[in-house]
Structure 1
Amino acid sequence: MRGGAGSVDGMDNRSEASEFLSSRRAKLTPEDVGLPDVGQRRVPGLRRGEVAALAGVSIEYYSKLERGALAGVSASILDAIARALRLDDAERSHLFNLAQAADGTSELLRPRRRAKTWMPRPSLTWVLDAITGGPALIRNGRMDLLATNPLGRAMHESLYERATGPVPNFARYTFLDDDSRRFYPDWDTAADTAVAILRTEAGRDPHDRLMHDLVGELATRSEEFRRRWSSHDVRLHGAGTKRFHHTAVGELELAYESVDMVSDPGLSLTVYAAEPASRTAHALALLGSLAASTTVAEPQVRKA
């Protein structure tokens, strides 16, 4: 991907780094960082010289970095740039990932996977099935839905039914299927989150050809995706609340916790829960009973 949509190709790392740094600089005002607002500004945001001063480097050096030349930059300089640009944890990690990709260390640091397919261990299946009070799922950084517990399968029934590839994919469903606007009442938030997760993964693993193909497909077919991809926003796994609309039980407002799976690098586990005795809790109980009466065997081999 090139141009406004950006790139996930490792060979275009300079463009990725340049667009990321300039987009973060454009989000800041002098007031944000305690500087006087002096003179006319041709474009929004801080000037390069202001960022350089805040980071304690020369304007020539910072300009070189913002042109995408991150290879060999020390961790202390990256930290200084992150502080100057007021990067959050996700953005700081993304900057370091881009720097690692620039000097080739991302290939060395990336965990090796022994196979192109991922099969949940029996013990992991038992753990998922033991989570009975709420939906639980496992996905990768490309947002492929790899495994669920029975309630998670029931909650995401529409993704399974409407999947166009070998596995359901949250990003593809969000941007290419109008049904997603029914499933996600807060569609804009869901879309922003999906793109930020993909952008984060692209920085972490810039040589993932499946990711490259997915972003290319979405950018070609969805203007909503292209616009968000060009913003260079990133996101780490976390916690919060989400709203869903299920065709069988209606509105669901669920808290969630997401964690990286140490035993399966690159995968994450998300568990949803409803507030006890709430309407959503009763709806989940109904969904669970409906799922138990119409159990469908789940395919267990997934692309990781």
Structure 2
Amino acid sequence: MELKQLQTFVTIARRGSFTQAAQELGYAQSTITTQIQLFEQELGTRLFERLGRSVALTPAGAKLLEYARPILRLCAEAQRAVAVGENMRGILTIGAVESLCVVRLPELVREYRRRYPEVEIALKIANCADFRELLGENQIDVAFFLDQAIAAPDLVTALQVPEPLTFLAMPGHPLISRAPIGPADLAGASLILTEAGCSYRRALESTLAGAGVKPHSVLETGSLQAIKQFTMDGMGITLLPRIAATAELADGRLVKLDWIGPEFAMLTQLVYHKDKWLSPPLRAFIALAQARMGRDNGAVARRKAGEMAGEIGDSESFASLS
């Protein structure tokens, strides 16, 4: 049993496709197929059930997955522990949804790189549903979730910051004159939404379904900028984190709709896996995020940042942020 086989196996299980796994790993699909066939021969059992283009784990495959993920995670941790030691160098892989990557991370990453120039940073843009698996497989070190409060036993939340959502429309949109608006006012409306799997889209659809409301149409795109542009062009209304449209609201290109429906209670949350080894670069990043993003969220966040900064022997520089 080789680590390469386990990595291929876990990737196929996560993507549900030999083709997509091959693309992610940079292999030809025939190479992926051969790896799994040899692996199944070695184990003496089938790991995947293939029906047409559909791929599903067999009971044996599901059992192996329970072991494969922690094995890969521990191997990656061991490699990093040996390579990094106690030095502030290495690679830090950060997951973030696009809206946070655009408006929350630039200042944070800029300051981190100024302090620790020998640490390489890799950003992975995805949705919150993907981050749970990526953290569990150690594909990313830490993730910024934009979601309702996370209470998963295998995840640790290092930071929580309230993230207000706002309904937005172009100036002169008919719904502006009907303010305040609730779920019933969205019946027959044209909505411009993020891709399926986005936490606040899921919350909105749940609210509308609970009220028995069906929109006229939904235009879906994964681009934050495209959502705002389509809204400014009058193609519909949208729901976004308020911070993502600060500039457009300030100069009047977008208008906030007064919403009196259920609150969505979204939070920006910095999360890592409970079994994750907190390397010095990772501890430093978490501490800086707590200090920068949590300083307006009360003394608790500042105290935690100071405690973690002390762990890496950099308490003076972090204290200056409080």
Q: Same fold (TM over 0.5)?
A: no
- Higher-Rg structure is 2
Q: Under a length normalisation based on structure 2, what TM-score does the superposition of the two structures give?
A: 0.24
Higher strand residue share: 2
